[in-house]
């Protein structure tokens, strides 16, 4: 294979996933939390594509495509929730929602 | 020679990927976060191309950077100033703990990858030109992975219905609006 080997892809994937984790833990805006979730999903996709190339099997790419579809579904519902929150004049702050806290 | 070009393209794409990823998290305006994510998706598509995932790269640009991100930008524009939520919550200790947790996760994964980098992870299989092509993806989706394909369509349908239900006005809201309108 020309260029970098699979460990390089996995390293980028690990770094991107950690950036996404930091975003979910740090930021309070549900929009940015959703964007950080996308980062984590894409990091997983990169690992899938890398492993797919490593083993020479395309199943990993098929799975990555399914992950993309599920991510689109998740964005649809997540953005619907955010818009519903905004219409009820609730603060767009994930720390403000404590009703379900046990 | 071709090797050097591939390395340079790969390194530029990887650097852009990490830079835009950090920008998504640290940008203060949600607009720049979303735009950075588009850059992130585009650089990831470049990495997919270099790992012989042609169809995945095209789908990434069309579906993700195209459709999904446009939806994000529409919602951010719809929310306007309300989208600018507080940057970070919790005490300084909680924030520091979050960063430490994420860094520890990264360190563990990187060490695990590096320990295997010279061994199992380095002997890649040889693939032919059909690997990652749309024709091959389509064949797999309609033969080996038909069930996953059908379930994906149901998931998307349910998500679309869920989006409509979430966007509907509740009866209580409609009543309150009607009462407001009835008053002089």
Distance of CA B143 to the CA centre of its chain: 27
Predicted TM-score (pTM) of the model is: 0.89
Which pLDDT band holds residue A78 (cuts at 50, 70, 90)?
A: very high
Average confidence (pLDDT) over B118-129: 79
Q: Could you report the per-residue pLDDT of B12-30, keeping only the tens digit for each?
A: 999 999 999 999 998 888 8
B24/A32 CB distance under 8 A: yes
Which pLDDT band holds residue B91 (cuts at 50, 70, 90)?
A: confident
- B44 CB neighbours in chain A (<8 A) are 42, 45-46
Residues contacting B96, CB < 8 A, separation 6+: none
Closest-CA residue of A relative to B14 is A12
Which pLDDT band holds residue B79 (cuts at 50, 70, 90)?
A: confident
Q: Could you report the per-residue pLDDT of A26-75, keeping only the tens digit for each?
A: 888 889 999 999 999 999 999 999 999 998 888 999 999 999 999 999 99
Average pLDDT along chain B: 87
ipTM for the assembly: 0.90
Strand partners, B12: none
Closest-CA residue of B relative to A41 is B41
Residue B100 has what pLDDT?
94
Answer whether A66 touches B (CB < 8 Å). Answer: yes
Q: What angle do CA B4, B10, B16 make, to 5 degrees?
A: 135
Q: Could you report the per-residue pLDDT of B154-176, keeping only the tens digit for each?
A: 999 999 999 899 888 777 777 77
Residue B150 has what pLDDT?
93
Distance of CA A44 to the CA centre of its chain: 8
């Amino acid at each position: 294979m020309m260029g970098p080997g699979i460990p390089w892809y996995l390293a980028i994937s690990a770094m991107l996933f950690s950036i996404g984790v930091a975003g979910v833990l740090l930021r309070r805006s549900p929009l940015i939390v959703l964007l950080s979730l996308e980062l984590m999903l894409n990091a997983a996709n990169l690992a899938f594509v890398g492993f797919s190339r490593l083993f020479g099997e395309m199943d990993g790419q098929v799975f990555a495509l399914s992950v993309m579809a599920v991510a689109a579904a998740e964005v649809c519902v997540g953005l619907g929730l955010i818009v519903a929150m905004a219409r009820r004049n609730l603060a767009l702050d994930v720390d403000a929602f404590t009703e379900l806290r046990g | 020679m071709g090797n050097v070009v591939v390395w340079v393209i790969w390194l530029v794409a990887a650097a852009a990927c990490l830079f835009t990823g950090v920008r998504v998290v640290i940008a203060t305006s949600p607009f720049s976060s979303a735009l950075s994510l588009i850059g992130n998706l585009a650089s990831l598509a470049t990495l997919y191309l270099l790992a012989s995932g042609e169809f995945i790269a095209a789908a990434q640009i069309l579906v993700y950077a195209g459709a999904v991100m446009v939806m994000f930008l529409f919602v951010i524009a719809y929310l306007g100033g309300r989208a600018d939520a507080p940057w970070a919550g919790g005490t300084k200790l909680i924030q520091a703990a979050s960063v430490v947790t994420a860094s520890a996760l990264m360190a563990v994964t990187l060490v695990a990858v590096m320990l295997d980098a010279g061994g199992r992870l380095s002997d890649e299989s040889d693939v032919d030109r059909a690997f990652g092509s749309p024709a091959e993806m389509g064949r797999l989706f309609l033969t080996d992975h038909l069930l996953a394909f059908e379930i994906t369509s149901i998931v998307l349908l349910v998500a679309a219905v869920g989006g409509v239900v979430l966007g509907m006005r509740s009866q209580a809201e409609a009543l309150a609006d009607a009462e407001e309108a009835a008053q002089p």
